[in-house]
Structure 1
Amino acid sequence: MMDLKLWLSILIVCEMAESMGPGQNWLISVPPVISVLESSCVVIPCMYDYPKKGHLWKKRPGYWRRGDDIVASNNPKFKVTQEFKGRSKITGIIERSICTWQLNDVRVTDAGPFYLTIEIPRFTSYTFSKDTVALNVFQVPEPPVMTIEVSNKVTATCKVTHVCPTSPPKISWSHPGITTTTTKLTKAWLTTSTLTFTPEEADFNKPLNCTVNFSDKKTAEGSVLLVKKST
């Protein structure tokens, strides 16, 4: 799992790095707003740069804040407030200028705004108070997008976007068959389940359903009618 988190942090900020400066100023790249389903999780991508002045500091305590409360930290010196304890953690490597963090079991009250503070020992500290991240927490999941192709076999897809690749939604089908599931990064994370089976006469003119389960707490369902192809 640690390899996945490191890969996630690096992948999700690689495009951000192109817009960062050469280390002459304090800069950060974070999305200003992320929409997330209540009770699911969210990974907040983040990358920063700082005036290095010829030094690469190996130890850099960092923490995310909401007002005076610390909501995530990479150092036990900075205590996470009770409301976020056990739900929030920095998954990026601060010393590599990756400040990505993950919040689990998102609540409506987790709207933010959140911002990052970096402390560099014997050098300085800096708070990105003007570069905040807000969460738009919605309570009802959107239905998945479905497609279907019918020939000798049925090939159906069920797609859903989300913001937590470390815990993607689970997709199940109302009909047995061979299923494959993939997750990839587009504008958001997209999880796709593909179902393939050989239909029988009794399968036609009936709905084919896919159910999306978010963190075992909320579900959404999509449906398409299985129609026999004209000959």
Structure 2
Amino acid sequence: MALKLWLSFLLLQVTHGVQSPRGQWTANIPTKITVLQGSCVVIPCTFTFPMPTSKKILNRWIGFWKKGNKVVSTNIPKWKIPKEYKKRTQFLGDLTSRNCTMLLDGVRMTDVGSFYFRIEMPQYKRYSYIQNPVTINVTRNPQPPSLSVKRDGKVIATCSVTHSCPSIPPQLSWSRSGIVISHIKKLNQLKWKTVSTLIFQPLPADFNKPLNCTVKYRGGKQAKSSTILKI
């Protein structure tokens, strides 16, 4: 349900901020995205095209995401995807709503490069949006989470991390037990934030020792942030 909600929200948005005229072949796609190796990324995409002058009913919509000449994702269920992308991509967009969003999972160093979208309407026209590609950059090192602590009788510690895949968000965990409240917040078209808040009544044993927050990203990579509770 959460995936459907944010995906429907994408239908109302464009990555470059201005909706392109419906009379042009234009794809609204981010120009660059940096992704952690092994993690996943949702590439938001909407497109426009010149409306046919005839009264043809457009009832067939075929979409492809391509890297060079390779088809890496499509809305055709039985299409033969190359082995290196098979089961790693998912076509999320509804083409009838001009949405061409794609998910790429298990990101590899070999994914570095440009991807572009192609639309085919057999009863009308076909077009490759090669002028509107997205470049994927891959980083090996995970970012540690942001950690802050407030004291007001109780300890209220907040840990957060940004990411690019809302359907499979990073997991945050604490080195101490307590009441944990978690949520995910959309920052923009490309970034979401996972936030975890830990609330506990400190004991003498909690002071002058580290309080750790660990993030585990999709793919298994981890990073940690620590703070020392002072008396």
Q: Does 1:47 align with 2:32?
A: no
Gaps of 5+ in 1: none
Structure 1 residue identity aligned to 2:149: I
Structure 2 residue identity aligned to 1:5: L
Aligned to 2:204: 201
SS of the residue corresponding to residue 14 of structure 2 reads helix
Structure 2 residue identity aligned to 1:155: I
SS of the residue corresponding to residue 8 of structure 1 reads helix
Give the superposition deviation at 1:115: 0.2
Give the superposition deviation at 1:42: 0.5
Number of residue pairs aligned between Structure 1 and Structure 2: 226
- The separation in 2 between residues aligned to 1:151 and 1:15, in whole angstroms, is 41
Give the superposition deviation at 1:81: 1.4
Gaps of 5+ in 2: none
How has the CA–CA distance of structure 1 residues 197 and 111 changed in structure 2, closer, same or farther, with 3 Å as cutoff? same
- Alignment TM-score, normalising by the size of structure 2: 0.92
**Structure 2 residue corresponding to 1:14, chosen from 12, 15, 27:** 12
- The separation in 1 between residues aligned to 2:147 and 2:92, in whole angstroms, is 33
How has the CA–CA distance of structure 1 residues 52 and 144 changed in structure 2, closer, same or farther, with 3 Å as cutoff? same
The Cα offsets for residues 192-227 of structure 1, whole Å up to 9 and x where unpaired, read as 000000001121111100010112511010111112
Aligned to 1:38: 37
Deviating 4+ runs (over 4 angstroms): none
Aligned to 1:29: 28
Contact 1:113–1:132, Cα closer than 8 Å, also in 2? yes
Give the superposition deviation at 1:151: 2.1
- Alignment TM-score, normalising by the size of structure 1: 0.92
Give the superposition deviation at 1:111: 1.1
Give the superposition deviation at 1:22: 4.0
Aligned to 1:107: 108
Structure 1 residue identity aligned to 2:172: I
Give the superposition deviation at 1:4: 3.1
Give the superposition deviation at 1:148: 0.2
After superposing the two structures, state which structure 1 stretch, 198-207 or 20-29, moved more.
Answer: 20-29
Q: How does 1:55-94 map to 2 (within 5 A)?
A: 57-76=58-77, 78-94=79-95
Aligned to 1:127: 128
- The separation in 2 between residues aligned to 1:165 and 1:55, in whole angstroms, is 38
- The separation in 1 between residues aligned to 2:172 and 2:57, in whole angstroms, is 45
Aligned to 2:144: 143
Structure 2 residue identity aligned to 1:126: Y
- The separation in 2 between residues aligned to 1:7 and 1:58, in whole angstroms, is 25
Aligned to 1:186: 187
How has the CA–CA distance of structure 1 residues 216 and 124 changed in structure 2, closer, same or farther, with 3 Å as cutoff? closer
Q: Does 1:157 align with 2:158?
A: yes
- The separation in 1 between residues aligned to 2:199 and 2:228, in whole angstroms, is 15
SS of the residue corresponding to residue 13 of structure 2 reads helix
Identity %: 38
The Cα offsets for residues 143-173 of structure 1, whole Å up to 9 and x where unpaired, read as 1110000121000011100000000001100
How has the CA–CA distance of structure 1 residues 176 and 50 changed in structure 2, closer, same or farther, with 3 Å as cutoff? same
- The separation in 1 between residues aligned to 2:122 and 2:148, in whole angstroms, is 55
Give the superposition deviation at 1:123: 0.6
Q: What is the aligned-residue RMSD (CA, Å)?
A: 1.6
Aligned to 1:221: 224
